[in-house]
Amino acid sequence: MSHTIAIASSNHSAGPVDTALRNRAMQVIPGGLWGHLNAANLPPGYPQYFTRGQGSRLWDVDGREYVDLMCSWGPVVLGHHHPAVEDAVQRQAALGDCLNGPAPVLVELAELLVGMIPHADWAIMSKNGSDATTGCVTIARAATGKRKILIAKGSYHGAVPWCSPSVVGVTAEDRAHVIQFEYNDIASLDYAVDQAGADLAAIIVTAFRHDMSRALEMPTMAFARRAREICDIQQAALIVDDVRAGFRLDLGGSWEPLGVQPDMSAFSKAIGNGYALAAIVGSDRFRPAATKIFTTGSFWCGAVPMAAAVATLTELRRIDGPGLMQKLGERLRSGIADLSAKYAVPVIQSGPAQMPLIQFEGDADFSTGTAFCAEALRHGTYFHPRHNMFLSCAHTEADIDLALRAAEAGFAIIVSIS
Ligand code: PMP
């Protein structure tokens, strides 16, 4: 069955404009494109280039319109081109973005974050999620005078040497003080803590287990509490990497519903509805170290993304964005469950409703999921077979119903070619 599906799905190809851009890019961009957006990582027929986004919709360079269930891989939380965000952006841009120092909006944003996130007493802004996770680790080491960092196996914290998923160009020394454990596995966490001995600086965990190509898993209460307890006993830092989930699950931080407070959290993605910004927030215990480390970047004081972030967070709070996205995600989830039953094609749905993943049973090579997504794409909805997807506040029930119609075409093709 898998083989047949792979052949069938390869019939869907990217459009002519997209293809022409890819060909030009191959000449001037190594490999055509970097990282997770390299053509080798795209499902067949998926466009690489886009011209615009509006609300819940996205247009590729060949003019095809999609209901967007990836939301730019997370940043677009209010919908593309949200009017409140764009107004704030234009007002700030008219004043200035890149000045000799920050604009007043920096202090406004830091106050907003400290007011919204219970464990936050301070905030430091930067640009990318990797900046924020790396900054948390540096502050933890500076505060504790210790070196070892515990990371869950397979968790993504960024594309920098201490945590990159690839070891190409990375030395063993870059990882010398990193120890791995299994997410949600207390025995393996305890074992890693033993290995670190008296040298434990921090445990860093993603908000939930959202490793590519496997079912998503929420943190268990016991695991979260044990991580907190270890850090308290060892005087180490508990860091939640909320770069991907932040502001979609809970505006106070994704572990807030668990009642477990990290010492520091890293945010980015959804913070500014697509404008480039990241933030570290932390508790007073880590303020002296956060003061002492040297951290900066040429663009870290950019005022436009900060204005976007103030507008985004204010709007998310006003409309209860996480609650709204949860309801829409549940509509999608129950519609998929109905289709799965109708077509007798068993699916595995995992993750929080706002960030769902749909997998097919017995689909180890993802050929079924890939065929499903390729067909749904042809019917106007952008799903992803391996990576968690993202709802936004711009999705309406009608959008979800359109996505379900596209999904139905996906289920039908699976049945027809199996
Ligand atoms: N942490 C997590 C959990 C992420 O999902 C990502 C990005 N996918 C990062 C860190 C790194 O963020 P960035 O790509 O902005 O550096």
Contact 111, 165 (CB under 8 A): no
Instruction: Indicate if 185 and 311 belong to the same structural domain.
Output: yes
CA-nearest residue, atom 12 of ligand 1: 129
Query: pLDDT category, 13, cuts 50, 70, 90?
Result: confident
User: What distance in angstroms lies between residue 401's CA and the mean position of ligand 1's atoms?
Assistant: 30
User: What distance in angstroms lies between residue 249's CA and the mean position of ligand 1's atoms?
Assistant: 16
Instruction: Indicate if 380 and 252 belong to the same structural domain.
Output: no
User: What distance in angstroms lies between residue 5's CA and the mean position of ligand 1's atoms?
Assistant: 32
Q: How many domains does the chain have?
A: 2
Among residues 259, 287, 319, the one where a domain terminates is 319
Mean pLDDT along residues 356-371? 97
Among residues 285, 300, 319, the one where a domain terminates is 319
pLDDT tens column, 146-174: 999 999 999 999 999 999 999 999 999 99
pLDDT tens column, 338-351: 999 999 999 999 99
* Atom of ligand 1 at shortest range from CA of 278: 15
Instruction: Indicate if 24 and 57 belong to the same structural domain.
Output: yes
Q: Is residue 1 part of a domain?
A: no
Instruction: Indicate if 305 and 404 belong to the same structural domain.
Output: no
Among residues 319, 334, 354, the one where a domain terminates is 319
The amino acid occupying position 87 is: D
Q: Is residue 5 part of a domain?
A: no
Query: pLDDT category, 12, cuts 50, 70, 90?
Result: low
* Atom of ligand 1 at shortest range from CA of 127: 15
* Atom of ligand 1 at shortest range from CA of 244: 5
* Atom of ligand 1 at shortest range from CA of 210: 3
Instruction: Indicate if 211 and 271 belong to the same structural domain.
Output: yes
Instruction: Indicate if 306 and 325 belong to the same structural domain.
Output: no
pLDDT tens column, 285-310: 999 999 999 999 999 999 999 999 99
pLDDT of residue 418: 80
* Residue from 76, 244, 267 whose mutation best tests the ligand 1 pocket (most atoms within 8 A of CB): 244
Q: Is residue 3 part of a domain?
A: no
Give the domain range for residue 353: 10-80+321-417
- CA-CA-CA-CA torsion sign (246, 252, 255, 258): negative
CATH number of the structural domain spanning residue 298: 3.40.640.10
pLDDT of residue 257: 97
User: What distance in angstroms lies between residue 187's CA and the mean position of ligand 1's atoms?
Assistant: 27
Instruction: Indicate if 315 and 326 belong to the same structural domain.
Output: no
User: What distance in angstroms lies between residue 160's CA and the mean position of ligand 1's atoms?
Assistant: 10
Instruction: Indicate if 315 and 332 belong to the same structural domain.
Output: no
Q: Is residue 337 part of a domain?
A: yes
